[in-house]
Amino acid sequence: MPFVEPITLTDRGVRLEPLALSHEAGLRTAAADGQLWTLRVTSVPEPENTRKYIEDALRMRDDGNRFAFAVVDDATGEVLGTTSYHDILSTVKRVEIGYTWYRKSVQRSHVNTTCKLLMMGHAFDTLGCHVVGWRTDNFNFASQQAIERLGAKKDGVIRGHALRRDGTIRDTVMYSMRAGEWPEAKAQLLYLLERRTLTE
């Protein structure tokens, strides 16, 4: 039995459902909102590579290394982006959250915070994870700030760790949160979401 089993998670109008080939058109449209594949520090697929992107994610799911979700507007069914559990280590009950991107029109909205709340809650409260981790490009400062807002702690930097899409070699910034830190982080995320709702 896989450590991460298929599940659909919903909250605040956002639905996380297992990524499938049926999401191909929606994911391509989401990436086109802002031409996200042109960004140097992300791994958003070019339109013609969207199907392969999904097939690769499904293959990694079969191998037990990654579980990808489509991020969907629960009211309209519109695909907003994607996010994943990855580097899944069932023996030590650790997952990382990544492969995350959203169409430009919902960036800086409640969507990312809601997704992280759902995924962290499922990881800690249902899967019983001891640690949840994140990694990002050393030049992706927006991602680093977003991870730090979640309450994650910076573990360090792995130098010369991976290739970017333009062929340059990136350093990877690593973050993590332990199970004991989750209750306070959850309270803060709920506070931020409630405050956003009150001000919108």
Interatomic CA distance for residues 6 and 69, integer angstroms: 9
Interatomic CA distance for residues 132 and 177, integer angstroms: 5
Report which of 97, 100, 112, 108 is spatially closest to residue 42, judged by C-alpha positions.
Answer: 100
* Collapsed DSSP state (helix, strand, coil) of residue 97: strand
* pLDDT surpasses 70 at 162: yes
Q: For the whole model, what pTM was predicted? A: 0.90
Q: Which of the 8 DSSP states describes residue 167?
A: S
Q: Token match 């599940």: residue?
A: 7
Report which of 167, 184, 64 is spatially closest to residue 120, judged by C-alpha positions.
Answer: 184
Among the ranges given (7-11, 26-30, 162-166), the one the predictor scored with the smallest mean pLDDT: 162-166
